[in-house]
Amino acid sequence: MVKIGIPLRYYHLADDRCILYLAEQVRRTFQKAGAFVVPIVQVQDVDYYDTHFPDFPDLTEKEKQEIDSYLDMVDGVVFPGGNKITPFDVYLLRRCIERDIPTLGICLGMQLMSCYGEKFQVYPNETSINHNQESDEGFSHKVRIHKDSLLYDILGKEELMVNSFHKYHVSIENNYQVIAESEDGYIEGICLPEKKFHLGIQWHPEISYDQDEDSRKIIQTFLEFCEK
């Protein structure tokens, strides 16, 4: 069974306790697709929710080794959605790239890829198209896919409808290749074509997995590359 590592995300409970969590939709979908899910736990002794990016201490060599130990156990990594990027996420992504571990970035995961090696910048969506739908049901807008791209190879089409749950969009100033845009011109898909499988998408195939063949194709193709 293919082993997929998923870094935990950060949140505050109503009583102000900070927790790490794995979204149930992510867990259930990847287990349903046939993967063994390995939660990747943050390694620094800090409050990941309240600490601002510049205030994080540098990762120690021991902490880096802990992250590498997780990667030794998995066949691929999924960077899920969330609301914050930390130095832990940046280092984990760097090691996935250096070790050519199959990687799928979803929503915030794609935004993490977009700022790899650069300062993290996001820009408010300023459009009449709904990029932050309220319900998990249905799709919000159309995405145009570049023909010469990993995403086109997976789906075999130049357009598809996607769900959308983001308030911000990104620009690309690194080695990632833009492979899909929304109707209003925002970046919706990126990849590193020289890697085995390294794909970031702005929408959530794990939410639409049960109802949508394209979502299943993305996740199943990712898992197939993880098994190779």
Residues 10-29: tens digit of each pLDDT: 988 888 888 999 999 999 99
DSSP letter string over 10-63?
EEE-TTS-EEEE--HHHHHHHHHTTPEEEEE---SSS-TTTS-GGGSPPPPHHH
Name 5's bridge partners.
38, 77
Instruction: State the pTM of this model.
Output: 0.92
220 within 8 A of 209, measured Cβ to Cβ? no
Using one digit for the tens of pLDDT, what is the confidence trace for 169-208?
A: 788 878 899 999 998 888 999 999 999 999 999 999 999 9
Instruction: Identify which has the larger pLDDT, 18 or 165.
Output: 18
- Give residue 96's pLDDT: 98
- Tell me, rounded to whole angstroms, the distance of Cα 29 from its chain centroid: 14
Instruction: Identify which has the larger pLDDT, 126 or 59.
Output: 59
Which of the residue ranges 120-124, 137-141, 143-147 has the most confident prediction, judged by mean pLDDT?
Answer: 143-147
Q: Give the amino acid at 197.
A: F
If phi > 0 it is left, if psi is from -120 to 50 it is alpha, else beta; for residue 107 that is left
The angle at the Cα of 226, spanning 212 to 160, to the nearest 5 degrees, equals: 25
Q: Reply yes or no on whether the pLDDT at 141 is more than 80.
A: no
* Cα–Cα distance measured from residue 208 to residue 148, given in angstroms and rounded to the nearest whole number: 25
Domains and CATH numbers, the chain: 3-227 (3.40.50.880)
Average of per-residue pLDDT across 53-66? 94
- Give residue 184's pLDDT: 85
